[in-house]
Amino acid sequence: MEGSAKKRLATLVGCNYPNSRHELSGCINDVHAMRDLLLSRFGFSPDDVVLLTDDAHLDSSSPSSSALPTGANIRRALTDMIDRAGPGDVLFFHYSGHGTLIPPVKPHHGWQHRRDEAIVPCDFNLITDVDFRQLVDRLPAETTFTMVSDSCHSGGLIDKEKEQIGPEAETTTADVSGAIHRTVGRYLPFESVLGHLASLSGIDSPHVGEHLAELFGAEASRKFSGGAAAAGRGDDAILLSGCQANETSADMSPFEAGSGGKAYGAFSNAIRVVLGEKEEGAVISNRELVMAARKVLRERGFEQHPCLYCSDENADAPFLWPRPEKKQQLRACM
């Protein structure tokens, strides 16, 4: 296997928010299914795959609360993964759960179009696009960091990453007359996030950063404490988002075609469908995977549009495989 001496590290996060009014059904199933795929198809070792799910506290065999996908635990797992990485390693992060959009502290003309994307850990300690930018800026040279986010408003979750497939991507009209009824989306309005945090912090403030600072201190997003992202260097971060920044992502119920009797995220399931149609050992580029996932979702009547954000080179690089050495690329062209 090409690059077999390199490390392949993964962090998988699934938030179902059990016993809350924000509860979802398919997120934990998503990451368990992805773990199986990483081990069986992509050569990951079980010891190098970290799984954080919010059913851990319901399992008496769980060793500690460290397995819960809190904001601090997710950041720590990602930081540890990057700290372990060396040049040429393959890193992977899969998030399945709620996403939200954060308005600016001082609204201005056109502010509706300049909100910041964030994921919502089980304790609501938001992780923003700025946080992900700061993480990937620490990557060693030639180390790829692939992020799949099956959440609402996930387009652009790595701040300042180049858009390869987004709202302007060419799509074809499909017959969705057989579209299946869906009742659950992964949409969590910012007002609900703010209200929940305010109920915990006891602070009367419209600014989410003040609530996060009160509740989580140094473990809150640096976005709200002056830690803005830099301009964004050329890097090997790759974001496959479940939808555009202005869209929502959907859960598939156990009764929907292709779900196999379990609830799943529509985007996570589409990725598995596309990869399952490939022969063992066959590779597919990041661009091809996103476009094929769009096709699967369109044919099943979903309205969300997965997107791709990365460098030009990584857009056509194989999904979760090391890029070929430049010498090998030249030899192949001779």
To the query of whether residue 211 is one of the catalytic residues in this protein, the response is no
To the query of whether residue 153 is one of the catalytic residues in this protein, the response is no
> Of 15, 27, 94, 98, which is the active-site residue?
98
> Contact, 115 vs 103, CB < 8 A?
yes
- Pairing assessment for the beta strands 127-128 and 90-96 based on DSSP bridges: unpaired
CA angle 268, 12, 69 (to 5 degrees): 115
Handedness of CA 256, 258, 262, 268 (dihedral sign): negative
> Contact, 317 vs 286, CB < 8 A?
yes
Angle between helices 129-136 and 71-84 (to 10 degrees): 20
> Of 122, 152, 243, 307, which is the active-site residue?
152
> Contact, 153 vs 100, CB < 8 A?
yes
Distance, CA of 94 to CA of 203 (rounded, Å)? 33
Catalytic residues: 98, 152
